[in-house]
Amino acid sequence: MSSTRKLLGFEFTSLCLIAFLAIANGTAYYDLFGHLASLGIPAGLRGLVVGAYPLVAMVLYLVASPFLTARRAPGAMLAGIAILVVGGVSFLLVRSFWGLLLLRGACGAGGFLLGAGAMALLVTVIPAGRSGEAFGIYSVAILAAYGLVPAAMDGAVPRLVGVTTAYALAGLALLPAVGLVLALRRRGPAPALGPDGEPHLPSWTDLRASLASPRLVPVLVLGVAYFANWSSLYYLFKGFATARGLGNVGVFYSVLTAVMIGIRLLGGRLFDRFDKARLAAFSFGMIALGHLALATLPIATAPFVGAFFGVGLGAGYPALNGLVFELSEPRFRPQNANLMMFAVQLGSFLGPAVGGALVARAGYPGYFAGSILLAVASAGLGGVLRSRERAGPRPARAPDRTGPGPSAPRGG
C-alpha cells in the first residue's frame, strides 16, 4: 500500500467499493426464506440454510483471521470473489436441502475471505488519528448496500426468470472487484506493523485472561443479541410483510438503513460523549419498540417503524464497539476485537436459525414475542453493565468506533 497519509486515496476508496459490492452480494439473498419455501424446504430447516453462511464465517473469523495479513489479503480476496461468483450461479441448479446447506456454507467461506481480507488491508491505510472517520465512511459504504439492494431486488425479480437469476447476477456483479483487488496487489502490502511483519495468533492463555473480565463477557453477549435481532429481522420481515399485504417491502429496509447511515454520519464524535452502556440499553429499547410496533400496528406503518429500528440499530453497534475498546487492556484489544467479530457472526447465525424456527412453530406473533423479550433483556443487561461501570474506575476514552458489521447481514 502507498504510504500516503491522505485518507480518501485510491486504496481506501477501492476498499470501500469492494465492501459495497461484497455486502450487496450478501444482501441480495434477503428473501432467501421465500425461495426455500418455494422449493418445499421444511419451515424448521430454512433458518439453518440461511444461517450456514454466518456459521462458517464465525468459525473462520475465530480460527483463521489472525493468518490473514496484509500481504496475504489480495489472494484471499480473489479466492473469496471466485467462490461467491460460482456460488451465486450455482443457485440456478441446486434445489435440495443438503445441497443448499453446503452451498450457503461455501458462500460463507467466500464472504469471510473477501471481507476479512479487505479489513486486513483497510487497517494499514488509515492515517493515525482518523480511525473513527475512516470506519464511519467504511460503514456507510456497507450500509448503503442494505438500503439499495432490497428495493432493487423487489423491482428486478418480477422482470427476471426467477429469484435464482437475481442470485446469479448478484454473484457476477462482484467481477469488477477483481480489477480493484489486482490493482491493490500491484501496489504492494503496507509496511509491516510487527517486528517480523506478521501478526501472531493469540494463545489460549491470553484468551482466558481476556475473558476473565467480568464486564467484557456481558458486552460480547450484547453483541450476539444485537445481531440476532438485526439478522432475524432482515431475513424474516419480507415474508411477514408480504403475508400482511405490503407492496414494496424494500422501502422498509431503505428507511431503516437511511436512518442508520444518518446516525453513523452525524453521531461521529458524539458517541464518546455519552455513557456507552446507557446508549446500548437505549438501542435495545428502541429495537424492542420496533418489534412491538410491527406486531401490533397496521402494516402500512412499516416504513415509519423502520425509522425506530434505524435509530436503535444505528446507535447500538458503535456503543458496543466502544465498550469493548474501553473495557479491554491495551494488550488484549486486538484479540477482543476478533472476539467481537465472533459474537457478530454467532448472532447472525442464531438470528435466522432461531427466528425461523419460532415462525415455523408459533407464527410471526411468536417470533415478535421472542424478539421483544431478547431486546428487553439486553436493555436490562446494558443497565446492569452501566451500574458496574459506575462502581469501577473510569476507563480511558475510546476513539470513534463506527465500523461495519459483519457478513450478511453485516450491517450492524
Question: Per-residue pLDDT tens for 65-107?
Answer: 767 777 888 999 999 999 999 999 999 999 999 999 999 999 9
Same domain (yes/no): 184, 220: no
Q: 167, 197, 227 — which closes off a domain?
A: 197
Domain total for the chain? 2
Of residues 248 and 307, more confidently modeled: 307
Residue 331: what pLDDT?
63
Q: What is the CA radius of gyration of the chain?
A: 20
Boundary of a domain, candidates 152, 182, 197: 197
* Higher pLDDT pick, 105 / 205: 105
Domain identity same for 177 and 251: no
- Residue whose C-alpha is closest to residue 254's, from 303, 294, 316, 309: 303
Q: Is residue 3 part of a domain?
A: no
Residue 158 in any domain: the answer is yes
In this structure, the answer to whether residues 35 and 180 fall within a common structural domain is: yes
CA 283 to chain centre: 16
The answer to whether residue 387 scores a pLDDT higher than 70 is no
> Distance (Å, rounded) from C-alpha 359 to C-alpha 369?
11
The answer to whether position 406 is within a domain reads: no
Examine the domain organization and report whether 143 and 168 are in the same domain: yes
Q: pLDDT band for position 330 (50/70/90)?
A: low
Work out the average pLDDT over 286-315.
92
Mean of pLDDT values over 29-50:
88
Among residues 197, 225, 247, the one where a domain terminates is 197
Give residue 82's pLDDT.
Answer: 97
Residue 188 pLDDT grade (very low, low, confident, very high; cuts 50, 70, 90): low
The model's pTM is 0.71
Together in a domain, 142 and 251? no
Let me know if residue 357 belongs to a domain. Answer: yes
- Tens-digit pLDDT profile for residues 213-233: 677 888 889 999 999 999 999
Secondary-structure breakdown of the chain: helix, strand, coil percentages, each rounded to the nearest 5: 75, 0, 25
Tell me: do 306 and 333 sit in the same domain.
yes
CA atoms within 13 A on the CB side of 10: 14
What residue numbers bound the domain in which 190 lies? 8-197
Q: Are 200 and 69 in contact (CB under 8 A)?
A: no
CATH number, position 164: 1.20.1250.20
Assess if residue 140 is contained within a domain. yes
* 184 and 206 part of one domain: no
pLDDT above 70 (res 3): no
Same-domain check for residues 99 and 217 = no
For residues 149 and 285, membership in a common domain is answered with no
- The reply to whether 366 and 258 lie within a common domain is yes
User: Residue 104: its pLDDT value, please?
Assistant: 95
What are 121-176's pLDDT values in tens digits? 877 776 765 555 666 677 778 888 877 887 787 777 777 777 888 899 989 999 99
Ramachandran area for residue 245 (φ above 0: left; ψ -120 to 50: alpha; else beta): left
Q: Which of 338, 339, 348 is closest to 55 using CA atoms?
A: 348
Q: Dihedral through CA 82, CA 84, CA 88, CA 90, nearest 10?
A: 60
